[in-house]
Amino acid sequence: MPDILSPDCVGLVTPQSHKFTTPLALNCGRTLPSYELIYETYGTLNKNHSNAVLICHALSSDHHAAGYYSMQDKKPGWWESCIGPGKPIDTNRFFVVSPNNLGGCKGSSGPNTLNPDTNKPYGPDFPIITVRDWVKSQARLGDVLGISQWAAVVGGSLGGMQALQWAIDYPKHLRHCVVIAAASKLTAQNIAFNEVARQAILSDPDFHAGHYYQHNTLPRRGLMLARMLGHITYLSEFAMRKKFGRELREGKINFGFDVEFQVESYLRYQGSSFVDRFDANTYLLMTKALDYFDPASEYKNNLSAAFAKLQAKFLVISFTSDWRFSPARSREIVKALLDNKKEVSYAEIKAHEGHDAFLMPIPRFIQTFQAYMQHIEISNK
């Protein structure tokens, strides 16, 4: 918990929410008649609304991107390293909007919220949401907040995919697009990891076909396994070796199946603490959104063709040790932008932290990100 708030922290924040009553037609063919989005904002919207930055979150995060809810909070928002006064997304300059995506489990409409038709939680009946649906819902949130053009749309991982989709679907409505540790589509290996995670949840006897809320239980083991697997893929081999090595918890092996190595203990902790803060149905939905994302598929699998109408300027960043969203995937995005002679800068940051690097205060990453954001012009006319 923070004893005092650091001057580069946005401070104490309170989420807001908005109820949308215009139906939202979704990619899957279904329609959400009404829905709610919870979001946080940091900084101040300027007079002509030209300084707004949209933050798109990744698989397991939410709208709480920066600051604290109270002085008793143990941890700040998930992107505290990048959002705040004097940080890359400088709240002295920018008005930052950070929503929780539809289908999430932290306050926006999703499987764990009440279905107005039945007055029961949606559960597995919540429609499958795609990246395009998210972008559409975020655009509507922009309308509510009076933002017709974002100074930048920014995201890492699955968030980077949303930023890309923004540039494709609403080319005139953003000036800059920052895509970090992302990909224009998942590889077969990446989908495979998601499938194992889903199977872990789906095969948990406590899953009850997604209706576990009614049974007053949780698919704890399944969600825990899914998270443990995910966590391994978010770190690099080097990072794990450095953090745990082969260190034993009790200093000796016990010839049994209880926790012996420190890395086992760490993974179990990560898994079980995740169960307390995340919903299994949401996890299933989010991994599907990841798997389905492939904007080039509508253009005969030609990413360059998909990017032809983009207008935003781009910053693309990858991390050397990220093997889940490797630099090669980012380069594909960069190449498609270059094919179209779009304005783009690309940095491959040396980092040992794997995919998680985008959440960490790695100096060169922060400098690169900051240099780009500082260059974004904000008109005050």
Partner 1 sequence: MKLRTDLALISEWIVEDSHVLDLGCGNGTLLAHLHETRSVTGYGLEIDDENIVYCIQAGVNVIHTDLNQGLSDFSDDSFDYVVMTQALQTIHRPDLLLLEMLRVGREGIVTFPNFGHWGARISLLFGGVMPTSRALPSEWYNTENIHLCSLHDFEKLCHTLDIEVLQRAVVDTTHHTSRSMRLMPNLFGEIAIYRFRSKPVKRIYQRKKK
Positions marked catalytic: 157, 322, 355
Single out the segment in contact with partner 1 by CB under 8 A; choices: 77-85, 109-117, 126-134, 338-346: 338-346
Which residue lies nearer to partner 1 by CB, 73 or 332?
332
Interface with partner 1 (CB under 8 A), residue from 54, 290, 334, 359:
334
**86 counts as binding partner 1 under rule CB under 8 A:** no
Question: Please, are residues 218 and 226 in contact by the beta-carbon 8 Å criterion?
Answer: no
**Assigned token pair, 329:** 């995937």
Single out the segment in contact with partner 1 by CB under 8 A; choices: 1-9, 71-79, 178-186, 334-342: 334-342
Q: Phi and psi at residue 342, in whole multiples of 5°?
A: -80, 160
How far apart, in whole angstroms, are the C-alpha atoms of residue 67 and residue 84? 8
Single out the segment in contact with partner 1 by CB under 8 A; choices: 128-136, 190-198, 286-294, 371-379: 371-379
How far apart, in whole angstroms, are the C-alpha atoms of residue 184 and residue 74? 35
Radius of gyration of the chain (CA): 21
Question: Please, are residues 17 and 38 in contact by the beta-carbon 8 Å criterion?
Answer: yes
**Assigned token pair, 62:** 């939410």
Q: Phi and psi at residue 361, in whole multiples of 5°?
A: -80, 65
As measured in angstroms, the least distance from the Cβ of 335 to partner 1 is 5
**Across the strands, what pairs with 68?**
12
As measured in angstroms, the least distance from the Cβ of 177 to partner 1 is 14
As measured in angstroms, the least distance from the Cβ of 33 to partner 1 is 45
Site string for partner 1, 89-128 (x = CB under 8 A): ----------------------------------------
Question: Please, are residues 52 and 95 in contact by the beta-carbon 8 Å criterion?
Answer: yes
Site string for partner 1, 268-307 (x = CB under 8 A): ----------------------------------------
Question: Please, are residues 132 and 169 in contact by the beta-carbon 8 Å criterion?
Answer: yes
How far apart, in whole angstroms, are the C-alpha atoms of residue 45 and residue 143? 14
As measured in angstroms, the least distance from the Cβ of 178 to partner 1 is 12
Single out the segment in contact with partner 1 by CB under 8 A; choices: 92-100, 129-137, 256-264, 330-338: 330-338
Buried b (16+ CB within 10 A) or exposed e, 114-128: eeeeeeebbbbebbb
**Across the strands, what pairs with 348?**
318
Report 341-360 residues binding partner 1 (CB under 8 A). Answer: 341, 343-350
Interface with partner 1 (CB under 8 A), residue from 100, 338, 379, 381:
338
Q: Which residues bind partner 1 (CB under 8 A)?
A: 315, 331, 334-335, 338-339, 341, 343-350, 364, 367-368, 371-372, 374-375
